[in-house]
């Protein structure tokens, strides 16, 4: 379906053309004075310059031409030359009826030419606990992926595990110290290594911090860990077998964690998967004359003439021949291009890595790792801060682990749900349902709290505000959906048919209802724009507006006691459409609503 704003623009454009003006002046936008009108066209102001006349002479003519057009309830010329427009209630109802019939899409068309888009998000480091920075990447990345999918694109999420760093050597070193008898440490061993990992996730979670702590105090220990890392990276069999075990154990734990967040990945590749591509990639960079030795290291220049600040060369290999984070990211692009031919790569990473990604992207383009037509997008996110404005910490001052944060919110939510239900006698939620509901609502609090901010901005994680049932919060949105569900079930309990959901929507008979209908009509435009701008926060802003518009309608309208059957059915249909659109939106944001709360 065409966007309503485009349909209106077409109509106004026709009037401009018919009156002898250029079509480009007919552009209509949403009104920035909703008290005066719903849409506006400022084209006459600009056209006046070209046609050398007073702007209102043009706007008057256009208003005149539009009067009597059944699409508009008002098309008014106001001095000095604005066109204030209101759509007719009948036309708007027609539009909503078409949306309703377009089940599942509600007027939002899929992309005519679907793209393959790979999205790099999550980025957890194996054996290290997830922290809140990883939370942001997961939440934003998942939503960007879902928006793309909804728009019909082929979205491939890759978790890009950090599985190639010193943490591996640390674990190996500690394990060797504790259990030297393990076959993995016997260099002469040539047989098959055991299938089972020699540790559980609980042990792994204890081994890593212990080893990390020791390495900070004991230089020899650190040296041993670095040596182990080197040997692992250079193919020592026993260590590679251990790496596999570490991966198995932590990946299954990570999957559980991400599942709890309603986040999933199509690919579970890691930094280690890129290693086989490094030698050829480096060789080619040398052969093509891009890579050269500078201070012993192999680098590629990436600065450009138009740079206003210094962009240092991209380092490909250290002087000892070791590869770096850069090398891995570039080699990862090699297999992504080879195996998936993406039209676009999106990286959802902490914005403090922006310069780094500028270097990597430029290097990838320059050396031909990515094709010129492949888009590279860095979606940098800001820091999640505590109420004191400083990076989120535990009470003791440590890095906040994701699990703690999630369980703190779950607890807070359970308290609220339990209290809330005490005030409503007809709500007989048992403990089990309360716990389940609290989890669902808590997830909305976390995700909406994050996504409602533009990704690049820092924000304050405020449990009290995020878990509130009022204001611009996830729980408020869910509460609105639950309210609609409850009206619908009361309607059914009155012995009426639920199929009223698809009955004809009549022209609005109140300002509140019209306002709700106007917001509903924008769904396709909002979704498209959120995709184009990789901006989930636009969907949050939209559903907040939609929830407010709905609640305005709900408070101003007697829905269940309406005596005229046809009018009541039309209300029910509007309710259903509102619910479907809210649910579609929260689904692309990555959370869902309970049946009651
Ligand atoms: N593992 C990294 C970290 O924890 C994030 C990885 C980001 N993605 C990438 N392709 N470099 O900081």
Rounded distance between C-alpha atoms, residue 463 and residue 125, angstroms:
26
Q: What is the DSSP letter of 313?
A: P
CB-based contact 523:99 (threshold 8 Å): yes
Mean predicted lDDT score pLDDT of the chain: 94
Q: How far is the CA of 452 from the centre of ligand 1 (A)?
A: 23
- 117-161+270-385 and 402-589 agree in CATH topology: no
Predicted confidence (pLDDT) per residue in 363-380, tens digit? 999 999 999 999 999 999
Dist. CA 366–CA 360, nearest whole Å: 10
| Total residues found in the chain within this entry | 597
- CATH architecture of residue range(s) 117-161+270-385: 3-Layer(aba) Sandwich (3.40)
Indicate the top mutation candidate among 121, 140, 160 to test ligand 1's pocket, ranked by most ligand atoms within 8 A of CB: 160
Predicted confidence (pLDDT) per residue in 581-597, tens digit: 999 999 999 999 999 98
CATH class, domain 4-87, is alpha beta
Residue 581 near residue 546, CB atoms below 8 Å: yes
Taking the C-alpha atoms of residue 542 and residue 547, their distance in angstroms, rounded to an integer, is: 9
Angle at 527 between CA 86 and CA 467, to 5 degrees: 100
Atom 10 of ligand 1: nearest residue by CA position: 329
State how beta strands 154-158 and 297-300 pair: unpaired
Hey, whose CA ends up nearest to atom 3 of ligand 1? 123
CATH number for the domain whose boundaries are 402-589: 1.10.730.10
Name, in order, each residue with C-beta under 8 angstroms of 145's C-beta and a sequence gap of 6 or more.
119, 121, 155, 157
Question: Count of CB atoms within 10 A of residue 320's CB?
Answer: 8
Q: Give the start-to-end residue ranges of the domains of the chain.
A: 4-87, 117-161+270-385, 166-260, 402-589
- 426 confidence band (pLDDT: 50, 70, 90): low
Residue 276 class from Cβ within 10 Å (0-12 exposed, 13-18 middle, 19+ buried)? exposed
Q: Which of 156, 161, 162, 354 gets mutated to test ligand 1 (max ligand atoms within 8 A of its CB)?
A: 162
Q: Is 3 exposed, middle or buried (0-12, 13-18, 19+ CB in 10 A)?
A: buried
Give me ligand 1 centre to Cα 81, in Å. Answer: 53
CA–centroid distance, residue 349 to ligand 1 (Å)? 7
Distance of CA 511 from the midpoint of ligand 1 (Å): 50
Ligand 1 atom 11 nearest Cα: 329
What's the pLDDT at 403?
81
ipTM tops 0.90:
yes
How are strands ordered across the β-sheet holding 297-300? 291-294, 297-300, 314-317
- List all residues whose CB is within 6 A of at least one atom of ligand 1: 120, 123, 125, 160, 162, 329, 347, 349
CA distances to 50, 81, 323, 409 from 60, rounded to whole Å, are: 17, 8, 69, 57
Closest to 147 in 3D by CA, of 413, 533, 408 = 533
For residue 430, the model assigns a pLDDT of 86
Q: What is the Å distance from ligand 1's center to 123 Cα?
A: 5
Distance 476 CA to ligand 1 centre (A): 33
pLDDT classification of 320: cutoffs 50, 70, 90: confident
Maximum C-alpha span of the chain: 93
Q: 438 CA to middle of ligand 1, Å?
A: 31
What predicted TM-score, i.e. pTM, was given to this entire model? 0.95
Confidence of residue 405 (pLDDT cuts 50, 70, 90): confident
pLDDT tens by residue, 385-397: 888 888 777 667 6
């Amino acid at each position: 379906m065409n966007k309503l704003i485009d349909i209106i623009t077409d109509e106004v454009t026709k009037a401009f053309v018919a009156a002898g003006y250029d079509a480009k002046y007919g552009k209509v936008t949403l009104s920035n004075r909703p008290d005066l009108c719903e849409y506006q066209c400022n084209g006459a102001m600009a056209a006046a310059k070209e046609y050398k006349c007073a702007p209102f002479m043009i706007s008057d003519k256009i208003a005149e031409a539009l009067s009597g057009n059944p699409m508009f309830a008002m098309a008014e010329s106001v001095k000095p030359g604005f066109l204030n427009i209101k759509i007719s209630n009948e036309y708007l109802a027609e539009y909503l009826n078409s949306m309703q019939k377009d089940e599942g899409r509600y007027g939002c068309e899929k992309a005519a030419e679907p793209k393959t888009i790979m999205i790099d998000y999550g980025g957890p480091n194996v054996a290290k606990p997830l922290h809140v920075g990883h939370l942001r990447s997961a939440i934003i990345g998942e939503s960007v992926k879902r928006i793309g999918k909804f728009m019909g694109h082929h979205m491939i999420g890759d978790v890009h595990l950090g599985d190639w760093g010193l943490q591996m050597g640390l674990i190996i070193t500690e394990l060797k110290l504790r259990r030297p008898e393990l076959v993995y440490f016997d260099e002469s061993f040539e047989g098959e290594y055991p299938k089972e990992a020699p540790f559980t996730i609980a042990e792994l979670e204890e081994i890593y911090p212990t080893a990390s702590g020791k390495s900070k105090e004991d230089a020899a220990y650190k040296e041993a860990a670095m040596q182990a890392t080197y040997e692992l990276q250079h193919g020592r069999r026993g260590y590679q077998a251990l790496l596999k075990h570490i991966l198995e154990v932590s990946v299954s734990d990570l999957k559980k964690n991400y599942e709890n967040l309603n986040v999933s990945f199509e690919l579970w590749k890691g930094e280690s998967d890129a290693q086989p591509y490094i030698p050829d990639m480096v060789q080619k960079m040398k052969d093509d004359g891009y890579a050269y030795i500078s201070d012993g290291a192999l680098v590629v220049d990436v600065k450009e003439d138009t740079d206003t600040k210094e962009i240092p060369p991209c380092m490909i290999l250290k002087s000892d021949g070791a590869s770096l984070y850069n090398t891995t990211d570039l080699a990862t692009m090699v297999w992504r291009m080879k195996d998936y031919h993406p039209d676009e790569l999106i990286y959802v990473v902490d914005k403090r890595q922006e310069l780094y990604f500028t270097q990597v992207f430029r290097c990838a383009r320059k050396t031909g790792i990515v094709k010129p037509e492949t888009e590279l997008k860095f979606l940098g996110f800001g820091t999640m801060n505590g109420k004191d404005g400083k990076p989120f910490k535990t009470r003791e001052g440590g890095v906040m682990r994701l699990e703690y944060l999630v369980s703190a919110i779950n607890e807070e939510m359970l308290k609220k749900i339990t209290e809330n239900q005490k005030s409503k006698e007809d709500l007989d939620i048992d403990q089990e349902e309360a716990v389940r509901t609290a989890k669902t609502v808590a997830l909305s609090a976390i995700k909406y709290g994050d996504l409602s901010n533009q990704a690049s901005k820092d924000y304050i994680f405020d449990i009290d505000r995020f878990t509130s049932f009022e204001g611009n919060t996830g729980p408020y949105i869910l509460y609105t959906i639950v309210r609609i569900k409850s009206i619908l079930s009361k309607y059914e309990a009155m012995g009426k048919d639920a199929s009223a959901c698809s009955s004809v929507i009549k022209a609005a008979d109140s300002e509140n209802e019209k306002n709700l209908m106007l917001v509903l009509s924008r769904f396709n435009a909002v979704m498209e724009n959120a995709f184009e701008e990789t901006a989930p926060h636009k969907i949050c802003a939209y559903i907040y507006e939609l929830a407010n518009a709905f609640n305005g309608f709900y408070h101003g309208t007697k829905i269940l006691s309406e005596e005229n059957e046809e009018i009541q059915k039309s209300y029910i249909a509007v309710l259903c459409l509102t619910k479907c659109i809210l649910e579609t939106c929260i689904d692309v944001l990555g959370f869902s609503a309970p049946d009651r709360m």
